[in-house]
Structure 1
Amino acid sequence: MILSTRDVDKWYASTRRTIFAVTQNMPRWLLWLSPRLRAVKKMVTGTVWQGVFDGRFLDEDHAKRAYLRNIEDVKAHYPPDRLLIHQPGDGWEPICRFLGKDVPQEPYPRVNEAKEIQRVARVFKVLGYLPGLLLVLALIVWWI
C-alpha cells in the first residue's frame, strides 16, 4: 500500500480551494445535462464530503482531524513492511524502492495542479450564472 500524505494545513487549504470548490460550484443545469458529471458529483459528495468528513468539511478542525485519522487508520491496517508513506515531493525513488522497480527516466509527474483545478472551479461558478444571464438577455431582446 502506498499512502500519499501532505502537511495537514497545506492539505486542507489546497483541498478547500480545489476539489471542494469544484464540487460545490458545479452548476445545476450542467449536472442536469451531464449524467456522467452528475454521477461524479454524487459519488464525491457521498463518499468524501458526507462520508469521510461527515458533511463538515468546512469545519476546518473537524476536516483536519478526519484527514489525520484516515492516515492513522491506514497505518494501523497495514504492516510497516507493506506500507509506504509517501509525500509527493519525495519523487520516484521511495516508490520504486518499495515496489522493487527501477527509477524511470521521466520526471516525477505533477498532475492536478492547484491552479488548473481552481480555474475549473471558477469556470463552473461563472457557468452557474449563465441561465440567469440568458434569461435577462432574452427579456431585453423581447422588450426591444
Structure 2
Amino acid sequence: MAFQPYTPKPITDIFTADTDIDRRKCHRTVPMRVLALGLGRTGTASLRTALKELGYTDCYHMMSASVENPPDCLMWQDAFAAKYDGEGEFGREQWDQLLGHCQAVCDWPAVAFAKELIEAYPEAKVIMTTRDVDSWHASTLKTVDWRANDPELKLVSQWDWGAGLYQPMLRKFWDVFFKGDFKKYGKQVFNDYYAEVRSIVPADNLLEFRVSQGWGPLCDFLEVPVPESKKFPHTNDTDGFVDRCRARNRAQMYNVLFRGFVMGGGILAAILSASATFHRFGARLPGLRA
C-alpha cells in the first residue's frame, strides 16, 4: 500500500532507542558516492562499518530501517508500491529524501532497486559483495528468512510502533524479491541478480568484493588510503543474529506493556478522580443527598 501516513513515536517507547525522523520531509545533504549492491548476508554489515571507517557519512543498511529509524519503512513501502504494484512514483527526488543523509547505501531492501539506484546516481561507484551461493543460502535461511517469517515479530508488530513499521516492509520485500519462497527460489534469484547488475554497470565502475579480501581491493577501487593499523571489520555474524532479533522483540514488547500500564493507570486515575469529585460535590446537591 503506497503512502501510509507517518505517525510519531509514542513517548512510552522507552525500551528502544529508535530515532523518529520523517524522511518525506528530508532532502539530500551529502553526495551519493557508493552503491554497495551485494545481497544481504554477503558481508554488507562489515562493508558498512568499513565505509564509515573510510569517511563515508553515512552508509544506509537494513538496520537503518529495522533498529535505527523505523519511519524509513514508510518510504520503502512507497518504493515497493511504485515498482511492484504500479502505485505512485518513486524517483530521484524520493531517493534523495530517503537516502539524502548518506554517501553510501548497502544491503536489502536497497538491492530490490539496484537498477533504479544506478540510474538515479550514475556518478556513484558500484560495489557488489559476494560469496559462495550455497553458503549464502544456508546463512540467509537461518537469519533473514527466519526473521521475515518470525511469528513473534508479526505478533509484536500488531502493537509496537517500530515493529509495526518494520515487519510489513520486510515481509513485502521478501515476497516480491524472492518470489514468495526464499527456500525454493533464493539461489536462482542470487545468480540472476548478480548477472543483471554486471550487465548494467560498466566493468571499470564495478568492484566484486569478498570481505575476506580485506582493505586492499576496496581502497584501490575507491582510491583512498588503507587505514593504518586497523583490521577490516567483521560484524553481524550468523550466530548472534537470532539472539539480537529476539532481544529486539522483547524490548518492543516491553514498550507495549509499559504503554498499556501507563494508559491503564491513566484511565484508572480518571475514574477515581471522577468518583471523588462526584462524592465531594454531589453530596452538596439537594437531590443527591442520602
- Assess same fold via TM > 0.5: yes
Task: Name the CA distance, whole Å, in 1 between partners of 2:212 and 2:232.
Answer: 9
Distance 1:8 1:16 in 2: 12
Q: What SS does the corresponding residue of 1:55 show, helix, strand or coil? A: coil
Q: TM-score, normalised by structure 1?
A: 0.77
User: Which residue matches 2:128?
Assistant: 3
Distance in 2 (alpha carbons) for counterparts of 1:29 and 1:21: 15
Aligned letter for 1:104?
Answer: P
Q: Which amino acid aligns with 2:159?
A: L
Point out 4+ residue stretches in structure 1 off by more than 4 angstroms.
Answer: none
Q: How big is the alpha-carbon RMSD for the aligned residues of Structure 1 and Structure 2?
A: 2.0
Alignment of 1:105-116 (within 5 A): 105=228, 106-116=230-240
Amino acid at match of 1:114: T
Q: Percent identity?
A: 26
Structure 1 Cα separation of the partners of residues 181 and 189 of structure 2? 10
1:1-144 alignment runs, 5 A limit: 1-27=126-152, 28-47=154-173, 49-59=174-184, 62-105=185-228, 106-120=230-244, 123=246
> How big is each residue's C-alpha offset from its partner over 1:19-73, in whole Å with a ceiling of 9 and x where there is no partner?
11122225233112322222222222212x11211101121xx210101111011
Amino acid of the structure 2 residue aligned with 1:112 = N
Matched letter for residue 109 of structure 1: P
Q: Is the 8 A contact 1:22 1:117 kept in 2?
A: no
Structure 2: where are the runs of 5+ without partners? 1-125, 254-290
- Figure out how many residues of one structure are paired with residues of the other and give that number: 123
AA partner of residue 115 (structure 1): D
Q: Mean Cα displacement is larger for which, 13-22 or 37-46? A: 37-46
Whether contact under 8 Å (1:31, 1:37) holds in the other structure is: yes
Q: Secondary structure at the match of 2:157?
A: helix
For 1:114 and 1:24, locate their aligned partners in 2 and report how far apart those are by CA, in whole Å.
17
Preserved contact between residue 31 and residue 38 of structure 1 (Cα < 8 Å): yes
Q: Which has the higher contact order (CA 8 A, sep 6+)?
A: 1
> What amino acid is aligned across from residue 39 of structure 1 in structure 2?
L
Structure showing greater radius of gyration is 2
Relative to structure 1, is the Cα distance of residues 3 and 43 closer, same or farther in structure 2, using a 3 angstrom cutoff? same
